[in-house]
């Protein structure tokens, strides 16, 4: 018995020492993989193509997204069930978790990194929290008509401590200036187009573009001069074409800017649209292998990778921006839900939900270089997002 205790004690000692002497961990090449079915995330390393740990019991992550603190130490995970979880990715632990609404869709971190905003479906609106403590600072109900609350989508952070978002049921875009976070000032834009379903901020932070589900085109707001109001982009696009049923809403965050071009998923069509940012006209319609969900540019803008809605979600296509043509169709596995580039784009990670794995591809050879097991992975978010406006 004594020797057993001694052995235990010794092993404890070794273990403690081991921890004390462990290399300090940096987080610039880390990321999170969302495991949607079991409500967990994996912390991964993109230099080593390895998984470091798993954080569990994060609630319903069937539609989850992540933002990072500017020191890249903390990841804030927004879950479908209104959960907001703050994860310390250096120490592999859940720092704090609150449930702030009944049903939520996404979030953003302020320019200075001090505020977290969450957009909610129920109760429809936006709430603002301290990034440090997750204390609630403000509640902005998305009231419209005679007192109804709208679902809020397309929440992004803009310069000047502003948050900008769209009201799906109210056809409005709001800007909340949170310089005084306990009393945000709201500016509203009405009749921006029917059913904005998601939005993006161009990487330079200048334009906020909301995609419309209920009619053709996009609504555009110039964040340099919001007083100029919302303008419509491509209002007549695809009007004469038959719209296919949409089995998954396209996502706009991660839509892209490459030089002066924007690459946009066409709603209900098997097409990617290229918009010229100089005149906001359609430059080209590129036929693709299904209804695009994410249309994401490699960080250098040379390639755009596209994934698709059910029933074409086993495919991924690569578009060469040099001559605006599809150069490769990949079939990584069943249900490719998301794609995330490493900070400088030499590799891309794909979440292959129904095959329970994450796959890594070399973006030059377009060949697979690694795969990691993951339980029904749906989203991949790398810490390099910490330094990008609108992500």
Cβ partners under 8 Å of residue 90, min gap 6? 25, 27, 73
Question: Which one of the spans 246-254, 276-284, 343-351, 360-368 is the region binding other proteins (CB under 8 A)?
Answer: 246-254
Residue 209's binding partner among ligand HEC, other proteins, none (Cβ under 5 to 8 angstroms by kind) is: none
Map residues 73-102 to x or -, x wherever contact with other proteins holds by CB under 8 A. Answer: -------xx---------------------
Question: Which one of the spans 175-183, 218-226, 241-249, 276-284 is the region binding other proteins (CB under 8 A)?
Answer: 241-249
Please choose, from the candidates 105, 35, 377, 78, the residue with its C-alpha nearest in 3D space to the C-alpha of residue 249. 105
Rounded Cα gap, residues 303 and 324, in angstroms: 9
- How do beta strands 218-222 and 230-233 pair? antiparallel
Rounded Cα gap, residues 8 and 301, in angstroms: 56
Backbone angles phi, psi at 226, to 5 degrees: -60, -25
| Min CB(362)–ligand HEC separation in Å | 33
Contact 53, 61 (CB under 8 A): no
Residue 62 makes contact with other proteins by CB under 8 A? yes
Residue 86's binding partner among ligand HEC, other proteins, none (Cβ under 5 to 8 angstroms by kind) is: none
Contact 247, 300 (CB under 8 A): no
Please choose, from the candidates 38, 27, 128, 31, the residue with its C-alpha nearest in 3D space to the C-alpha of residue 79. 38
| Min CB(272)–ligand HEC separation in Å | 19
Applying CB under 8 A, among 105, 262, 336, 391 the residue interacting with other proteins is 105
Which two three-digit tokens encode residue 116? 């977290």
Count how many residues are written for the chain. Answer: 391
Residue 356 makes contact with other proteins by CB under 8 A? no
Number of amino acids touching other proteins (CB under 8 A): 27
CB atoms within 10 A of CB 365: 8
| Min CB(198)–ligand HEC separation in Å | 12
- Residue in this structure with the two tokens 């359609």, named with its chain if needed: 282
Rounded Cα gap, residues 153 and 141, in angstroms: 13
Residue 311's binding partner among ligand HEC, other proteins, none (Cβ under 5 to 8 angstroms by kind) is: other proteins
Applying CB under 8 A, among 28, 229, 259, 311 the residue interacting with other proteins is 311
Cβ partners under 8 Å of residue 30, min gap 6? 43, 44, 45, 46, 52, 72, 89, 382, 383
| Min CB(59)–other proteins separation in Å | 10
Applying CB under 8 A, among 29, 37, 222, 356 the residue interacting with other proteins is 37
Residue 60 makes contact with other proteins by CB under 8 A? yes
Residue 380 makes contact with other proteins by CB under 8 A? no
Site for other proteins in 109-138 (CB under 8 A): 121-122
Residue 357 makes contact with other proteins by CB under 8 A? no
The binding site for other proteins (CB under 8 A) comprises 36-37, 60, 62-63, 80-81, 103, 105, 121-122, 151, 168, 197, 213, 245-249, 310-312, 335, 353-354, 376
């Amino acid at each position: 018995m004594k020797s057993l205790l001694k052995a235990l004690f010794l092993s404890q000692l070794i273990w403690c020492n081991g921890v004390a002497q462990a290399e300090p961990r940096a987080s610039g090449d880390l990321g999170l993989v969302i495991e949607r079915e079991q409500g967990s995330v994996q912390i991964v390393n993109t230099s080593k193509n390895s998984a470091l740990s798993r954080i569990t019991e994060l609630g319903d992550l069937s539609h989850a997204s992540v933002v990072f603190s500017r020191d890249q130490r903390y990841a804030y995970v927004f879950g479908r069930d209104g959960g907001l979880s703050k994860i310390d990715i250096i120490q592999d632990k859940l720092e704090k978790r609150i449930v702030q609404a009944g049903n939520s869709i996404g979030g953003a971190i302020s320019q200075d990194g001090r505020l977290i905003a969450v957009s909610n479906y129920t109760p429809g609106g936006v709430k603002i929290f301290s990034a440090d403590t997750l204390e609630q600072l403000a509640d902005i109900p998305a009231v419209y008509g005679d007192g109804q609350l709208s679902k809020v989508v397309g929440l992004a952070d803009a310069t000047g401590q502003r948050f900008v978002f769209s009201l799906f049921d109210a056809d409005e875009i709001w800007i909340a200036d949170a310089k005084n976070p306990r009393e945000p000032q709201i500016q509203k834009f009405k009749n921006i187009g029917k059913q904005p379903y998601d939005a993006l901020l161009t990487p330079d932070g200048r334009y906020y573009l909301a995609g419309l589900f209920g009619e053709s085109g996009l609504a555009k707001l110039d964040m340099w001069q919001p007083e100029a109001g919302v303008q419509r982009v491509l209002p007549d696009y695809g009007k004469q074409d038959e719209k296919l049923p949409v089995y998954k809403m396209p996502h706009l965050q991660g839509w892209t800017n490459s030089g002066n071009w924007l690459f946009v998923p066409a709603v209900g069509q098997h097409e990617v649209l290229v918009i010229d940012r100089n005149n906001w006209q359609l430059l080209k319609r590129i036929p693709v292998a299904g209804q695009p969900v994410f249309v994401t540019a490699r960080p250098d803008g040379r390639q755009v990778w596209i994934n698709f809605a059910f029933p074409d979600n086993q495919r991924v296509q690569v578009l060469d921006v040099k001559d605006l043509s599809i150069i490769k169709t990949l079939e990584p596995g069943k249900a490719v839900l998301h794609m995330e580039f490493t900070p400088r784009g030499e590799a891309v990670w794909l979440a292959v939900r129904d095959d329970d794995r994450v796959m890594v591809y070399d973006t030059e050879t377009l060949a697979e270089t690694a795969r990691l097991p993951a339980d029904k992975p749906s989203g991949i978010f790398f810490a390099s997002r910490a330094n990008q406006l609108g992500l």
